[in-house]
């Protein structure tokens, strides 16, 4: 019987090019797949079942780690304190491990003659915070190899894998720092920010509502604060990310500290046992070595509002999280949706609704309890006329290169079809129309877009231009996912969307508008059909759009997010009720 080799990286594939029978863990292992056997995640997995399983494990480990970290740091903080600090990282870390665990387990179970490489158990220094972990695990070849190697080693020791091909001597360069967040704390600008943050926090310590920067524009931020009779504070300066990153990242990793916690809990299944071996070793520095220094930084922030309104700092800014966690008894947290998502089963597993006193949603949120939910308009100017419509702009969606988050709108295995779709557009679009095509991409740091940047020799890429200005130059927008980009585009002029419907199902309350957008040729699944439609409508695109608008379909969709163009009015009224 012919040997079958499990391949988990492009390095293993390149090293063993002569071996004919291989099974690939994912598309990242091979450049040009043809008749190769590649594990199909969507075919082999039940999303609902996995989602519920992961939710239970995240909650379980959250409770266990809360107790252990209290013991380690010799404090007695309640569970909500640790939920704020721990859960953002856990919602990345545990699904990232699970993806790889399930891939290996499924391939082993279905292939009796499967051989694996005996892995080199390479280690990596812990990252600084939750966002650095996310950037690393979704882009780093090295970190992906670390995680797969550990799983294979664990299953060999458990005798779940018995056929070892040979010891893998493939050396993968440590590229984690390549995807880390820039930390420039010594230049003049950062020093000025640090000083100004301190002065501002001293002057305005009586502030009643802190409105953090995020989805809302600086102009609207200032206006809202003035309506509340308070001076605005720019939160990025108070909770200076570069400042704390430069401090915490330079701390020496303390192995003795990490080994003090043992997670030999009872009633663990195999996957949980595997997690318990490595979770303390992998925990970001901000929760261990940086715990004391971050608390000292927080003590210098003399800012004590009654409410904090936040868009995304509760997930990716450790200084904000530590500040709020230490003041959660006196400050109420209002978490706002940071985009125009309409999908159920979010990748944060409903934790946002759990830690928030109030959760601001722009559409009906099936996952948020009614007692917590506040519906407000999408806080951006979206209804405006395009000033210089000329181009056909293709706005890309790029799934994670390596798997991490688990949710309907954050499915790593949502089909990454940009490259193939653009080639189909070139094939089927009229040449004059294709000459006007431009490629827009928001996620410039993602490895998923590397090949896309080289497509058409890079001549069609839009570089370093704000998305609002890109929209202004669009005769027609093509969006590849129905979230914030689609909302911003469809509100200002002719827009189509191209994606797999099964990847982006709306919440139950909003399925009617979803079906209408499909029926009226605004949503497409086929790039070929989309091309023919554009060829037919291009010369009179505004006439077609006027006909669509007469049907009130666009207004119906926009009203889900923003009924009144004067969107700040409801925000002002809501915030005034708080003070």
Question: b/e for 15-36, b at 16 or more Cβ within 10 A?
Answer: ebeebeebbbbbebbbeeeeee
The pLDDT of residue 577: 92
Q: Which residue has the tokens 């490629």?
A: 439
Structure confidence at residue 124 (pLDDT): 81
Q: In the prediction, which pLDDT does 432 show?
A: 97
C-alpha 513/C-alpha 499 separation (Å) is 16
Q: What average pLDDT does the structure give for the chain?
A: 87
* CA atoms lying within 13 Å on the CB side of residue 182: 5
3-state secondary structure 510-559: HHHHHHHHHHCCCEECCHHHHHHHHHHHHHHHHHHHHHHHHCCHHHHHHH
User: pLDDT category, 166, cuts 50, 70, 90?
Assistant: low
Indicate the burial class of 121 (C-beta count within 10 angstroms; 0-12, 13-18, 19 or more).
exposed
Q: Using CA atoms, how far apart are residues 372 and 366, in angstroms rounded to an integer? A: 12
pLDDT of residue 365: 66
Instruction: At 38, list the tokens.
Output: 């590649």
What does the buried/exposed string (b/e) look like for 297-319 if buried means 16 or more CB atoms within 10 Å of the residue's CB? bbeebebebebbbbbbbbbbbbb
- Collapsed DSSP state (helix, strand, coil) of residue 275: helix
pLDDT of 186: 46
pLDDT by residue (tens digit) across 515-551? 999 999 999 999 999 999 999 999 999 999 999 998 9
Confidence (pLDDT) at 204:
52
178-182, 523-527, 559-563: the lowest-pLDDT one: 178-182
Distance (Å, whole) CA 562 – CA 579: 24
Tokens read off for 535:
């060829």
* Helix (H), strand (E) at residue 25: none
pLDDT grade for 412, boundaries at 50, 70 and 90? low
Q: Rounded to the nearest 10 degrees, what angle do helices 241-249 and 188-203 cross at?
A: 120
Q: How many helices (H) and strands (E) does the chain have?
A: 26, 15
The per-residue pLDDT for 472 is 93
Q: Are 286 and 248 in contact (CB under 8 A)?
A: yes
Structure tokens at 282: 């992998």
Asked whether 147 and 208 are in contact (CB, 8 A), the reply is no
Query: What dihedral do alpha carbons 187, 191, 194, 200 form, nearest 10°?
Result: -130
256 contacts 190 by C-beta, under 8 angstroms: no
What pLDDT, on a 0 to 100 scale, did the predictor assign at position 202? 58
With beta carbons less than 8 A apart as the criterion, state whether 169 and 479 touch: no
User: What is the C-alpha separation between 213 and 468, in angstroms, rounded?
Assistant: 18
DSSP H or E segment with residue 37: strand 37-38
């Amino acid at each position: 019987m012919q040997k079958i080799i499990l391949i988990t990286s492009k390095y293993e594939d390149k090293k063993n090019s002569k071996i004919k029978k291989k099974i690939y863990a994912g598309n990242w292992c091979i450049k040009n797949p043809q008749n190769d056997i590649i594990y199909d995640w969507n075919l082999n997995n039940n999303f609902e079942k996995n989602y519920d399983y992961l939710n239970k494990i995240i909650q379980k480990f959250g409770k266990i780690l809360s107790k252990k970290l209290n013991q380690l740091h010799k404090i007695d903080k309640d569970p909500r304190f640790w939920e704020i600090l721990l859960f953002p990282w856990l919602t990345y870390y545990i699904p990232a491990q699970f993806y790889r665990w399930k891939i290996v387990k499924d391939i082993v179970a279905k292939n009796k003659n499967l051989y694996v490489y005996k892995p080199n158990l390479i280690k990596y220094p812990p990252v600084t915070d939750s966002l650095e972990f996310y950037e690393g695990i979704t882009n780093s070849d090295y970190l992906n190899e670390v995680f797969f190697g550990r799983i294979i080693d664990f299953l060999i020791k458990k005798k779940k894998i018995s056929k070892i091909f040979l010891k893998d001597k493939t050396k993968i360069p440590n590229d984690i720092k390549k995807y880390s967040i820039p930390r420039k704390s010594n230049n003049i600008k950062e020093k000025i920010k640090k000083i100004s943050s301190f002065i501002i926090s001293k002057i305005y310590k009586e502030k009643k509502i802190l409105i953090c920067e995020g989805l809302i524009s600086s102009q609207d931020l200032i206006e809202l604060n003035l309506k509340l009779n308070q001076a605005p504070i720019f939160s990025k300066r108070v909770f200076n990310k570069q400042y704390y990153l430069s401090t915490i990242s330079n701390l020496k990793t303390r192995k003795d500290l990490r080994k003090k916690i043992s997670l030999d809990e009872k009633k663990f299944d195999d996957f949980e046992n595997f997690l318990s071996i490595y979770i303390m070793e992998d925990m970001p520095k901000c929760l261990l070595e940086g715990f004391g220094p971050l608390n000292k930084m927080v003590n210098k922030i003399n800012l004590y509002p009654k409410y904090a309104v936040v868009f995304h700092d509760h997930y990716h800014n450790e200084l904000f999280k530590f500040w709020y966690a230490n003041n959660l008894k006196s400050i109420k947290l209002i978490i706002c949706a940071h985009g125009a998502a309409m999908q159920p089963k979010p990748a944060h597993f409903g934790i946002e609704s759990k830690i928030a006193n109030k959760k601001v949603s722009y559409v009906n949120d099936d996952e948020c309890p009614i007692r917590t939910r506040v519906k407000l308009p999408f806080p951006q100017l979206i209804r405006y006329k395009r000033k210089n419509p000329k181009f056909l702009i293709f706005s890309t969606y790029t799934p994670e290169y390596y798997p991490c988050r688990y949710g309907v709108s954050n499915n790593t295995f949502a089909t990454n079809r940009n490259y193939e779709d653009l080639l189909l557009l070139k094939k089927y679009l009229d040449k004059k129309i294709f000459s006007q095509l431009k490629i827009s991409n928001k996620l410039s740091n993602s490895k998923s877009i590397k090949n896309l940047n080289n497509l058409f020799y890079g001549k069609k890429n839009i570089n370093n231009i704000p998305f609002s200005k890109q929209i202004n130059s669009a005769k027609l927008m093509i969006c590849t996912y129905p979230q914030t980009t689609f909302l911003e585009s469809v509100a200002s002029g002719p827009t189509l969307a191209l994606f797999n419907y099964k990847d982006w199902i709306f919440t139950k309350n909003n399925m009617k508008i979803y079906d209408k957008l499909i029926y009226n040729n605004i949503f497409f699944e086929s790039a070929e059909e989309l091309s023919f439609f554009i060829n037919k409508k291009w010369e009179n695109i505004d006439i077609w759009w006027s006909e669509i608008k007469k049907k009130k379909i666009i207004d119906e969709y926009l009203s889900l997010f923003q009924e009144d163009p004067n969107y700040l009015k409801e925000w002002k009224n809501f915030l005034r009720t708080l003070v």
